Amino acid sequence: MHVIGLAGWSGAGKTTLLAKLIPELTRRSISVSTLKHAHHAFDIDQPGKDSHTHRTAGATEVLISSSRRYALIHELRDEPEADLATLLGRLAPVDLVIVEGFKRSAHPKIEVHRVANGRPFLFPELPAIVALATDGELPADLPMPAVHLDDTAGIANIVISHALPLGDVLRRLAASAA
């Protein structure tokens, strides 16, 4: 398994890019999973459903299964938020995991930058950014590969060349936590 992330300000187009990037990678016979960090409370369960009733009654985990998919809901209760290394360890093996969010973590990331946001680049402050995808002018002295945000094939090439094996990512995360 290899890992790379997408980082950028809210509204930069990370999710939109993923929606184009995943089909491009799967066309290249690369199996892909994603791991998304949410900065707010979220709920994938709906009141009135059995799984919601189980969870709100106090179950730590609720696994919902059908012939088409399964979902595991783990309620943290008073536990701290899981770190990226722990979450990566919960995924089934695939060729590539793309992490959306966790922008301050030590895994390699492509910065997604949209000029209309009016926000500065993240790469000068975040050393784990290894490439840039933007809809704007590219800085002349850019110390990394860069591609236009609409160049999905070019971004896929960067993803493939800059994703690191899971073991390397886990060592980076452990070193940065120490």
Average pLDDT in the 38-47 region?
A: 74
pLDDT of 58 reads 85
pLDDT of residue 61: 85
Interval 166-175: pLDDT, tens: 999 999 999 9
What is the reported pTM?
A: 0.90
Burial 22-41 (b: 16+ CB within 10 A, else e): bebbeeeebebbbbeeeeee
77 phi-psi bin (left φ>0, alpha ψ -120 to 50, beta other): left
Chain mean pLDDT for the chain:
91
State the Cα–Cα distance between residues 174 and 164, nearest whole angstrom.
15
Beta strands in the chain, from DSSP E residues, in sequence order:
2-7, 32-36, 61-65, 70-74, 96-100, 109-113, 129-134, 146-148, 164-165
Which one has a higher pLDDT value, 69 or 113?
113
